[in-house]
Structure 1
Amino acid sequence: MSDFTQRFLFDDFDARGELVTLEGSYRHVLAKHPYPEPVAQLLGELLGAAALLIGTVKFDGLLVLQARSTGAVPLLMVECSSAGELRGIARYHAEQIGDAQSLGELMPNGDLAITIDPANGQRYQGIVALDGANLADCLSTYFATSEQLPTRFWLFADGQRACGLLLQQLPVDRQKDPEARAASWEHVVTLADTLTAEELLSLDSETLLYRLYHEEAVRLFEPRALQFRCSCSRERSARALVSLGREDADQLLAEQGGTVVIDCQFCNQRYPFDAADIAQLFAGGGVEPASDTRH
């Protein structure tokens, strides 16, 4: 399994962790657009973050991470469903990248919106400034300031593989003494801070955890599979056209020479609609092509 998250638990501490490895899905995202190396790395880190976060929230729906800035990379956007389906996209100005490598250089004056969109229930959004050394620092700050359980992130990507580690302190259970809880949490975080990008990107879960926590009792659970999948469809594109109204749809049809083409920014899939298709949509006839032309 090349794309997965894997949970682990400390038997003696009130703490848990999650590891993520993305290969096929990450490469699939990068194959859709010719991203420069620093942009591909940022996008890989955000994909890893979304996969880790989806494991911390028990819900049926979609988690969206959207980073915006005034710099060379004005947009990073990643979606991960509760079913483990990932997609992502970045917008960048190639002429502005130059030698920029760090998050601050690529995305100045930025912020990151974390949106939980359940299939049933209320939508929730939190926002954190992109003023940390990297995306992992920004996410760790968000949890530290949002009155949630203390949570730390480590994220790395190299254009071929994206990997990450999450540690989270759990509610009081095994350790009742506040000082003991604090010391244990500092201990597991300090050890994780010794982790290098090379180790996280190259080692399997068992080896990685042994290297970090061989003196602790750690239980590693079965991995959970992830995959790239875009949620675009002809049906969703048709609904977008209908939402414009008949007059605007006909105007768009005329402007585009008789065929409206809706492009998915995530996967580059194209959905064309000609005059007969649009007439059928507004007549309530469904989204299958009305003309003899096959799309």
Structure 2
Amino acid sequence: MSDLPDTDYTQRFIFDDRDVRGEMVGLERSYAEVLAKHPYPQPVAQLLGELMAAAALLVGTLKFDGLLILQAQSSGPVPLLAIECTSDHEIRGLARYAAEQIKDDASLADLMPGGHLVLTIIPVNGQRYQGTVELDGKDLSECFTNYFVMSQQINTCISLAADGIRARGLLVQQLPADRQKDIEEREDSWNHVKALANTVKAEELLGLDNETVLHRLYHEDAVRLFDIQPLHFRCSCSRERSGNALVSLGKHDALELINEHGGKIEVDCQFCNQCYQFDAADIEQLFAGGGVDTPSDTRH
């Protein structure tokens, strides 16, 4: 049996004698929740899992309070992958795809040719940040590594793996000079950590516990592994948010929309497939300031 934790998590580690830190992530229940919402082909399910793992890694790496959004976009068979992860470790995700165009052995380049990755951070307080990088790596692991090195100018190495059942990720990142002041020593140290991180195999990430993975990679180093931080699936949709979207249309247009749809409209959440219904009485209540807590008697 696997020794993997039975809940989804992120887990941080540091090197006692090097200016390097790391993060590991494991997703199983939240991954299953996301995949249960749509009949994803295996290559799409794998990409979605890898992007979920990347989002969880980044939330643990970028210290902020708010929401992180990862979107991979292309004009290919998979035009969109979207993951949202909060600083409270709540995650959700979806993909749009053309199933008839997807082969079982499709690569990232096959699925998302000419694509790009957009990272958006929306803090509770402070300014919104957005960064973009081309999806020009052989896989998402290489694309994210390129993002940090090129866009953030931070030495980083990321490995991602997913198989439709679990998704895992490993990140190692160089820290500002502290234990190692000498430039050449720092460079040699980082090259050592990166070279070993690049040897990790997908089957190791997916099948072994974190302590075993780290021991296999860095058994000659002093590595400290911290407590796991739980992570779970949660969709942020609500009837209230759907009602607010209708309010933004204006009362006249919202009522017209309901009339055009035979007396009621449905607002669907693409992430979790939850459906929220509204009729004319609901619209009147919304614009009278009554909110959505008490739906009308005509809505089922």
Q: Please report the TM-score for the alignment, with normalisation by the length of structure 2.
A: 0.96
Which amino acid is 2:141 matched to?
Answer: A
**Structure 1 match to 2:3:** none
**Structure 2 match to 1:16:** 21
Contact 2:9–2:25 under 8 Å retained in 1: yes
User: Residue 238 of structure 1 is aligned with which of 240, 243, 247?
Assistant: 243
SS of the residue aligned with 2:145? helix
User: 2:108 and 2:294 mapped to 1: Cα distance?
Assistant: 45
User: 2:101 and 2:274 mapped to 1: Cα distance?
Assistant: 28
Contact 2:157–2:197 under 8 Å retained in 1: no
SS of the residue aligned with 1:136? helix
Confirm or deny that 1:136 pairs with 2:128: no
- Cα offset, 1:97, TM superposition: 1.0
CA deviation map 1:117-162 (0-9, x unaligned): 0011100000000111011111111111124321111000000000
CA RMSD of aligned residues (A): 1.0
CA deviation map 1:15-40 (0-9, x unaligned): 00000000000000000000000000
CA deviation map 1:191-227 (0-9, x unaligned): 1111111100010011111111111000000000000
Contact 2:279–2:299 under 8 Å retained in 1: no
CA deviation map 1:75-96 (0-9, x unaligned): 0000000000000000000111
Confirm or deny that 1:52 pairs with 2:77: no
**Structure 1 match to 2:10:** 5
User: Residue 109 of structure 1 is aligned with which of 110, 114, 117?
Assistant: 114
Which amino acid is 2:78 matched to?
Answer: V
User: 1:117 and 1:282 mapped to 2: Cα distance?
Assistant: 29
User: Residue 208 of structure 1 is aligned with which of 213, 216, 237?
Assistant: 213
Confirm or deny that 1:272 pairs with 2:277: yes
User: 1:25 and 1:293 mapped to 2: Cα distance?
Assistant: 35
Which amino acid is 1:87 matched to?
Answer: R
Confirm or deny that 1:184 pairs with 2:189: yes
CA deviation map 1:96-118 (0-9, x unaligned): 11345211110001100000000
Contact 1:175–1:181 under 8 Å retained in 2: yes
Contact 1:277–1:291 under 8 Å retained in 2: yes
**Structure 1 match to 2:75:** 70
SS of the residue aligned with 1:55? helix
SS of the residue aligned with 1:223? strand
Which amino acid is 1:36 matched to?
Answer: P
**Structure 2 match to 1:88:** 93
User: 2:28 and 2:233 mapped to 1: Cα distance?
Assistant: 10
CA deviation map 1:247-270 (0-9, x unaligned): 211111012111111000000101
Q: Identity of counterpart residues, as a percentage?
A: 66
Q: Please report the TM-score for the alignment, with normalisation by the length of structure 1.
A: 0.98
Structure 1 residues 183, 251: CA separation in 2 closer, same or farther (over 3 Å shift)? same
SS of the residue aligned with 1:112? strand
User: Residue 169 of structure 1 is aligned with which of 174, 195, 219?
Assistant: 174
Contact 2:166–2:206 under 8 Å retained in 1: yes
Long gaps (5+) in structure 2: 1-5
- Cα offset, 1:239, TM superposition: 0.3
Contact 1:156–1:197 under 8 Å retained in 2: yes
SS of the residue aligned with 1:262? strand
Contact 1:100–1:106 under 8 Å retained in 2: no
**Structure 2 match to 1:225:** 230
Which amino acid is 1:22 matched to?
Answer: L
Q: Report the count of equivalent residues.
A: 295
User: 2:132 and 2:151 mapped to 1: Cα distance?
Assistant: 10
SS of the residue aligned with 2:61? coil
Structure 1 residues 99, 208: CA separation in 2 closer, same or farther (over 3 Å shift)? closer
